[in-house]
Amino acid sequence: MLKVRVIPCLDVKDGRVVKGVQFVDLRDAGDPVESAIAYDAAGADELCFLDITASHENRGTLMGVVSRTAEACFMPLTVGGGVRTIEDIRNLLLAGADKVSIMTAAVNDRDFVRRAAEKFGTQCIVVAVDAKKVSETGSPDRWEIFTHGGRKPTGIDAVHYAQEVATLGAGEILLTSMDRDGTKIGYDIALTRAIADAVSIPVIASGGVGSLDHMVEGIRDGHASAVLAASIFHFGEHTIREAKEKLRANGLPVRID
Amino acid sequence: MKVAIIDYGSGNLHSAHKAFERAASESGIGGEIIVTSDPELVRTADRIVLPGVGAYADCRRGLDAVPGMVAAMTEAVHDNGRPFLGICVGMQLLADRGLEHVTTPGLSWIGGDVVEIKPTDPTLKIPHMGWNTLDQAQDHALLAGIPTGADGWHAYFVHSFHLQPSSSDTVIATTQYGGSVTALVAKDTVAGTQFHPEKSQKLGLALIANFLRWRP
């Protein structure tokens, strides 16, 4: 039986982890590779690097990080952040990423998703959907795509957008509620379910995890195939194992090898 | 022992290379792992690995675009009985035909067609992406020491098509995803995994070590 995936996400800036892993004693908590190895050992099902490097000149450091991670961790690695061109995707895949997540470039040019999927295969194209609720209280739920870290509205309906990129060849959707991101009050379940039920590809729920119950809700109520979280793991509040045991106790299938 | 991982432009072989090196050193088998697009090195290798990601037709085109590669693989495997492992689309290429978008001839080393997965449960997502257990159909050296069944170890899958063999004799293991999906096939000195051993942590490294030890 296919298992629910638990995916820790590391923010990487100029080749260094922004909020480093602190649940084990690492020689260098700022080294993404050391953090990746720690999560590999802890039983994470996949790993996600989100590159938040501001300048394009420093992108080269990310390639080294991805390459060293792929040498040390034999688990799937998704890398996103600042991916704009087919060349960016090629470079990340050649460095050792298994999947590349694209965001703004897909919003600006939907056909980029099709070209990327045709070039590299659906299996490695993840489209990041950053959505915010725009409907008024009392009216039917509606979410829009926001770019620039949730600051810039686009007017694009999030559910329609998700369906569109799925049709164009996205292999997976990384869905982040920009309302919930960083709040620790749980995923936007209505958003997650609206999108997961509207597309035939897997959806990763992201944004707002503050407890293990939130992960259960993301899968059980939000119909996500995977849950992504950052600080809840990095700061040792919970281990990957605890997350999986919680999911299992709620009747959801997990991998504990 | 020399192990050749065939580079024909289909995806990144860095992690496959490192996983084979790790499995070779941890198991004490040792040997030299090379990533190559040189048919001569494939012809003379002791073991051959054919990875592959992306669309079937693209992979077939990529393989044919390396002059002499298919001939070198065929000679090593069929004339000299070298152990061969196909991974993901590299495994699917072993079939007679791929039916992804267009019909593409495979290598016809293992009879059957590569067809779309059609789960009986319509809520199941495609691609079949993530960790799944293996159901062993018959004993095989590649699965030695690897726990299978519902409580067994997990393999990492990411695919929308699978090899439907014409004979069940070649099916070593399947996985369940709204029906039976082919996970591991083998015939004589040729084997193939739909899942990615280089991404399957414990199970993957164990299977790679088994392949390095395999004496079919």
Q: Which residues contact B145 (CB under 8 A, 6 or more apart)?
A: B206, B210
A74 vs B132: CB contact, 8 Å cut-off? no
Chain B residues close to A120, C-beta within 8 Å: 11, 53-54
Kindly name the residue from B128, B140, B162, B196 that is annotated as catalytic.
B196
Dist CA B73 CA A199 (whole Å): 41
Rounded distance between C-alpha atoms, residue B102 and residue A179, angstroms? 43
Are A73 and B198 a contacting pair, CB within 8 Å?
no
pLDDT at residue B142 greater than cutoff 90: yes
Query: Does B180 touch chain A if contact means CB atoms closer than 8 Å?
Result: no
Which of the four pLDDT bands, split at 50, 70 and 90, describes residue B111? very high
- Predicted local distance difference test score (pLDDT) of residue A149: 84
AA identity, residue A149? G
The residue that leads in pLDDT, B58 or A243, is A243
Q: Does A123 touch chain B (CB under 8 A)?
A: yes
At B198, which amino acid appears? E
CB–CB of B199 and A70 under 8 A?
no
Q: Is B88 a catalytic residue?
A: yes
Cα(B20)–Cα(B137) distance, integer angstroms: 26
B196 included as an active-site residue: yes
pLDDT of residue A12 exceeding 70, the answer is: yes
Cβ contact B130–A45 (<8 Å): yes
What pLDDT was estimated at residue A28?
78
Six token digits for residue B202: 């414990």
What tens digit of pLDDT does each residue of B146-171 get?
A: 999 999 999 999 999 999 999 999 99
In which band, very low, low, confident or very high, does the pLDDT at A150 lie, cut at 50, 70 and 90?
confident
Strands B171-176 and B135-136, how do they pair? antiparallel
> Given this model, what pLDDT does residue A54 score?
67
Nearest chain A CA: its distance from B94 CA (Å): 19
> What pLDDT, on the 0 to 100 scale, is given for residue A235?
85
Using a CB-CB distance cutoff of 8 angstroms, which residues of chain A are in contact with residue B180?
Answer: none
The conformation of residue A181, written as its DSSP 8-state character, comes to T
User: Which position has the higher pLDDT, A53 or B92?
Assistant: B92
CA distance A161 to chain B (A): 18
Mean pLDDT, rounded, for A181-209 = 96
Give chain A's radius of gyration (CA, Å): 17
- Half-sphere exposure for A100 (CA within 13 Å, toward CB): 31
Judge whether A93 and A124 are in contact, CB under 8 Å: yes
Q: Looking at the partner chain, which of B125, B159, B200 has a beta carbon nearest the beta carbon of A225?
A: B125
Question: Rounded mean pLDDT of A213-241?
Answer: 95
How high is the pLDDT of residue B54? Answer: 86
Strands A172-177 and A203-206: parallel
Question: What residues of A act catalytically?
Answer: 11, 130
Scanning A16-75 for CB atoms below 8 A from B yields: 40, 45, 67, 70-72, 74-75
CA distance B131 to B51: 19
**Structure tokens belonging to residue A107:** 């919003």
What mean pLDDT do residues A159-175 have?
Answer: 98
pLDDT band at A58 (very low <50, low <70, confident <90, very high): confident
Mean of per-residue pLDDT scores for chain A: 93
Average pLDDT over residues A49-78: 87
Could you tell me if A65 and A47 are in contact, meaning their C-beta atoms sit under 8 angstroms apart?
no
Taking CA–CA distances from A97, the nearest residue in chain B reads B12
Task: Sort strands A125-133 and A143-147 into parallel, antiparallel or unpaired.
Answer: antiparallel
Q: Tell me, what DSSP letter sits at residue A43?
A: T
Is the minimum CB–CB distance between A136 and chain B shorter than 8 Å? no
Taking 90 as the threshold, does the pLDDT of residue A27 lie above it?
Answer: no
Q: Is the pLDDT of residue A81 over 70?
A: yes
Please indicate if any CB of chain A lies within 8 Å of the CB of B193. Answer: no
In which element (H, E) is residue A231 found? helix A231-234
Of A48-57, A205-214, B100-109, B166-175, the one with minimum mean pLDDT is: A48-57
Tokens of A128: 């990041």
Q: Are A225 and B202 in contact (CB < 8 Å)?
A: no
Closest chain A residue by Cα to residue B122: A200
The percentage of chain B sitting over the pLDDT mark of 70, rounded to a whole number, equals 99
Angle at B128 between CA B36 and CA B213, to 5 degrees: 40
Nearest to B127 among A3, A118, A122 (CB): A122
E strands within B45-170?
47-50, 84-87, 97-98, 104-105, 112-116, 128-133, 135-136, 154-159, 161-165
A45 CB neighbours in chain B (<8 A) are 130-131
Taking CA atoms, what residue in A is nearest to B54? A121
Residue-level length of chain A: 257
Looking at residue B43, its amino acid is: R
What does the pLDDT average to over B125-144? 97
| Chains A–B, number of C-beta pairs less than 8 Å apart | 104
Contact A76 B158 (CB under 8 A): yes
Residue range B3-36, pLDDT digits in tens: 999 999 876 788 899 999 999 999 999 999 999 9
Query: Residue A30 — φ and ψ, nearest 5°?
Result: -90, -5
- Tokens read off for A113: 């998703």
| Structure-block tokens of residue B211 | 């392949």
Backbone angles phi, psi at B65, to 5 degrees: -75, -15
Pick the closest to residue B114 from B64, B182, B172 (CA basis).
B182
Q: Which of B15, B54, B131 sits opposite A255 (nearest CB)?
A: B131
Please give the mean pLDDT across all residues of chain B. 96
**Do the Cβ atoms of A247 and A219 come closer than 8 Å?**
yes
Q: A45 and B19: CB-CB below 8 Å?
A: no
Helix ranges (H only) for A3-154 are 32-42, 59-72, 86-95, 104-108, 111-120
Confidence (pLDDT) at A246: 98
Is B18 in the A-facing interface, judged by CB distances under 8 Å?
yes
Element (H, E) at A11: strand A5-13
pLDDT tier for residue B102 given thresholds of 50, 70 and 90:
very high
Calculate mean pLDDT across residues A239-243.
96
Provide the whole-model pTM. 0.95
pLDDT reported for residue B28: 96
Tokens describing residue B51: 């990875």
In eight-state DSSP terms, residue B138 is S
Residues forming a β-bridge with A77: A47
pLDDT of residue A25 exceeding 90: no
